[in-house]
Structure 1
């Protein structure tokens, strides 16, 4: 994955290496999806929160629409969504996810975000 446009927050596959990278991502999915959650929290805390939603949208598109992450599940996506710094953006992203992933089991969104006490990050 590559940040293609840092103003608009557009992500794309890096053509030369995406197959190897995506394979690695699937080699230990639960650990790697938790790493993505930690990165999402970190970029929000470092003032780069404008990249959180576009990156999650890209990951969901790759995983669900393009079927490139066969191990991607609703729980992992919900962890990513709850890592979004701002509540309003979390709710918008959750509604988008509901529409996009009607076939995946949904986990209720966490309404409050307390990064200091989270054991999943």
Structure 2
């Protein structure tokens, strides 16, 4: 072999080694990022499920002042969302099939699904505990909330088939809507918000059916690859009911590939886990998010 050929071979080998080193470094950085993302998710969702224990208690005598009741007023159709918004009845009536508007406008989502935490729209108000109790008791608010939920489900290619149980399934246009959901990752944050809000405003029993839907679509049907991480890191651990959450973690583990890489629950307990209906004893464990 000529010297110049040897030099060329060495250069090609060095180039390959460098590419391998860069790939390993990239994989290491991605792994660190994912680990940090999962840590933040765990902390965030634990606070949510424990009703934000670090949030200052509100004086009941001051909680009903106008600035603290804007979410309630919006749901009573007394005020438009901010900024540059509409009344909720206009949204429910005229935005239902306007998917471009629902995708493009990022101001309405915090008003339709308020939380006890600040979001990106600083014109929206955090949900107060007083509002929560009042909104759960008001029939018109509850009716509008279900309609708002159905509005967003339709946007994602899903429909509510049982208003009592929260059962959901695909719509006829699901493929188009799934493509949009997979492409626009900010909708993962929106769905997390929706799931949290369900647990705040009296629809905790709607959480598990929606999470189960996304687990089936991502792990069983192999749909929505861009949503899969959010389903496991976030959606799954919004479920407030501990038993339902355990059942969902176990379902996720059963359908995750490869199973030995499943990190969202303790492996040994998952292997032994049985639903209460299958066994009188309760295997004591919690998922990765506690």
Instruction: Say whether the fold is shared (TM-score over 0.5).
Output: yes
SS of residue paired to 1:12: strand
* Cα deviation 1:46-68 (Å, max 9, x = unaligned): 11011111111111112222222
Matched-pair contact (CA < 8 Å) for 2:214–2:231: no
Instruction: Note if 1:41 corresponds to 2:196.
Output: yes
Partner of 2:160: 3
Most deviating of 55-64 and 37-46 = 55-64
Residue 6 (structure 1) shift: 1.7
Q: 1:20 aligns with which of 176, 182, 194?
A: 176
Instruction: Note if 1:107 corresponds to 2:264.
Output: yes
User: Residue 99 and residue 77 in structure 1: after superposition, are their counterparts in 2 closer, same or farther (change >3 A)?
Assistant: same
Q: Structure 2: where are the runs of 5+ without partners? A: 1-157, 266-287
Q: How far, CA to CA, are the matches of 2:195 and 2:229 in structure 1? A: 17
Residue 76 (structure 1) shift: 3.5
Most deviating of 65-74 and 93-102 = 65-74
Partner of 1:65: 220
Matched-pair contact (CA < 8 Å) for 1:40–1:83: yes
Instruction: Note if 1:77 corresponds to 2:256.
Output: no
TM-score computed with the length of structure 2 as normaliser: 0.35
Higher relative contact order (CA 8 A, sep 6+): 1
Matched-pair contact (CA < 8 Å) for 1:43–1:49: yes
SS of residue paired to 2:161: strand
Number of positions where the alignment pairs a residue of Structure 1 with one of Structure 2: 109
SS of residue paired to 1:70: coil
| Rg larger in structure | 2
SS of residue paired to 1:5: coil
Matched-pair contact (CA < 8 Å) for 1:5–1:11: yes
Q: How far, CA to CA, are the matches of 2:247 and 2:167 in structure 1? A: 18
Q: Structure 1: where are the runs of 5+ without partners? A: 112-121
Instruction: Report the RMSD for the aligned CA atoms in angstroms.
Output: 1.9
TM-score computed with the length of structure 1 as normaliser: 0.77
